[in-house]
Amino acid sequence: MRRRVVFYSSLAALVLVVAFSVFLATRHTVTDATSSPSPLLGKPAPAVKGISLSGTMVNLSSYRGHVVVLNFWASWCPPCKQEAPELSTFAWQQRNGGARVLGVVFNDSVSSAKSFSTYYGSLYPSIAVDTNGSIANSYGVTSPPTTFIINRHGRVVAELLGATTVRQLTAIVNKVTS
């Protein structure tokens, strides 16, 4: 046994390393938005109201009774460009009584936000100006894109950091609605 120490330990190491490598190779990359622990979880969602990019008056409280996807975005943020089509697709899929999507522009000029919104064919309203960043502050948003899922009773149930996808949003909303 002593004579073949190297042989047996090499074989054992080989088995371990191959198992380890296969494990790592099969991990999926982090492409979805990360679910973040927010101090708002379980608490009533702070007020969100203002005039949208298309000129209409928007108020979060008017969505009570629906699940709301609240998305903070800016025209200068690359992941926002990535998720913009996904959010519109999601809004379209939920158009018959499902979840509602509401956007808030983060630290941006109205003209850039408007052109961004037109370019990506946004199918949901976004509040154009967040004075003093007070809405973003009340939600603890430090950088876009950040998305909050608010349940039917107006309580925050999830915070997602980074670009989200239709699949991820649908999964969370289904879990919240059931």
Looking at the Cβ atoms of 23 and 97, the one nearer to another protein is 23
Q: Where are the beta strands (DSSP E) in 2-145?
A: 34-35, 49-51, 57-59, 68-73, 100-105, 126-127
* Residue 131, both tokens: 């004075």
Contact 128, 106 (CB under 8 A): no
CB of 95 to another protein, least distance (A): 31
* Residues numbered 125-164 forming contacts with another protein, rule: CB under 8 A: 131-134, 137, 140-143, 159, 161
Looking at the Cβ atoms of 70 and 91, the one nearer to another protein is 70
107 binds another protein (CB under 8 A): yes
23 binds another protein (CB under 8 A): yes
Relative orientation angle of helices 110-119 and 78-93, to the nearest 10 degrees: 60
Element housing 147 (H / E) = strand 146-150
14 binds another protein (CB under 8 A): yes
Q: How far apart are CA 141 and CA 164, in angstroms?
A: 15
Q: Which of 36, 82, 151, 170 binds another protein (CB under 8 A)?
A: 36
Contact 133, 50 (CB under 8 A): no
* Residue 139, both tokens: 């939600």
Q: Which of 1, 25, 55, 96 binds another protein (CB under 8 A)?
A: 25
The SS3 assignment for 109 reads: coil
Q: Which of 34, 61, 62, 177 binds another protein (CB under 8 A)?
A: 34
First CA to last CA distance, the chain: 61
CB of 81 to another protein, least distance (A): 9
User: Which residues would be at the binding site for another protein (CB under 8 A)?
Assistant: 3-7, 10-11, 13-14, 17-18, 20-21, 23-25, 27-31, 34-39, 41-42, 76-78, 107, 131-134, 137, 140-143, 159, 161
